[in-house]
Amino acid sequence: MKIVVLDGYAANPGDLNWSKLENLGECAIYERTSREQVKERIADAEIILTNKTIIKRDVIEASPLLKYIGVLATGYNVVDIDAARERDIVVTNIPAYSTPSVGQMVFAHILNITQQVQHHSEEVHKGRWCNSVDFTFRDTPLIELLGKKIGIVGLGQIGYNVARIALGFGMKVWAYTSKSRLQLPPEIKKLELDPLFRECDIITLHCPLNETTRGMVDARRLALMKPTSILINTGRGPLINEQDLADALNSGSIYAAGLDVLSHEPPHPDNPLLTAQNCYITPHIAWATYEARQRLMQIAVENIKAYLNKAPINNVAKK
C-alpha cells in the first residue's frame, strides 16, 4: 500500500516527524506539489494526504488505485466530494484539532488592538520611553474588555471556546447560531445577525464558508457597526468583502480589524486590506501552533488506521 503526502511542509516544516505514518505503509512525502505534478505523484497511491493541494474530478478519475483522501485540515473544500463519492473513495478531515489555538489567536488580535501592544513596544525600542518627560506614555486609545459585548458568528467548538475565554474577561457574550436558545448556556445570548453587528463592540467570525455566508460582511453590514467596533476573522477570508472592509476602516466607520485569513492566500499585492487603516493581519497561522500540529498529525494517522480497519471515521464523503 502506498501513501502519498502532497504538501506536508505546512503541517510539518521539520519540527515533527512522519514516523507514525511511515509505519502504516510505503510513504512518499512531498513538501509541496504543483497542480501539474499531482496526477503523476499519486498515480500508484491508494492513500493520499493533502492540505491545500486541490484534488479535482480529473485528478480522481486519473487515479485508478485511489481509495482514500485525507485532508490535513478541518475544511475539505479542496476535494471534489461528489467525484469521490461516485468512486466510493473515503474522504476524511481533521476536526477540532486547532480549537484552543484559534481561540488564542482571536484574543491575540483583540488584545493587540485594544492594548496596542505591538505599537507601543515598537515605540519603546525607538527610544520614546527613554525620552518621555513622564513615567509613561501612550498615543493610542487603550480599551478595557470588561463589560464589552462580543458577538460570535457561528457557535461550533471554536465559537464556544472563544465564548468561554470572553467570559473570563468579563465580557457579555452574544451569538448568531443555528442552536436554539434552550441549547445555549444562560451566559450566552442568542441574537440575529444584523442586530449582532449593530449592538456588539467586537464581532468575531467562526461560521463555515458556503454560498449563504460568502461575502456576508459587506458594506451594508459594516455600516451597522459602531465606529468604535472591532472585527475579527480567523475563519475563512471570503466571509468578508475585502474592499468594503478596507473602505470602512479608512473612513473610520469601524475602529479596527484583526484578520488571520484573506480571500486569496498568499494575498495579491493589491489587496486593499494590506494598506487599510487599523488593519492587523497575520498569515493564516492561528491553526499552526506546535501543539495543534501534533494533534493534526496524530488524528490523520488515526483516521487512516480506522480506514484500514474498515471502520472509517471523520468521513466527510459518507453517503
Where in the sequence numbering do the catalytic residues fall? 236, 265, 284
Full 3-state SS string of the chain? CEEEECCCCCCCCCCCCCHHHHCCCEEEECCCCCHHHHHHHCCCCCEEEECCCCECHHHHHCCCCCCEEEECCCCCCCECHHHHHHCCCEEECCCCCCHHHHHHHHHHHHHHHHHCHHHHHHHHHCCCCCCCCCCCCCCCCCCCCCCCEEEEECCCHHHHHHHHHHHHCCCEEEEECCCCHHHCCCCEEECCHHHHHHHCCEEEECCCCCCCCCCCECHHHHCCCCCCCEEEECCCHHHECHHHHHHHHHHCCCCEEEECCCCCCCCCCCCHHHHCCCEEECCCCCCCCHHHHHHHHHHHHHHHHHHHCCCCCCECCCC
Exposure string (b/e) for 186-208, b if CB count within 10 Å is 16 or more? eebebbebeebbbbbbbbbbbbe
CB atoms within 10 A of CB 131: 8
- C-alpha grid cell, residue 282: 497575520
The distance of Cα 290 from the centroid of its chain, to the nearest Å, equals: 16
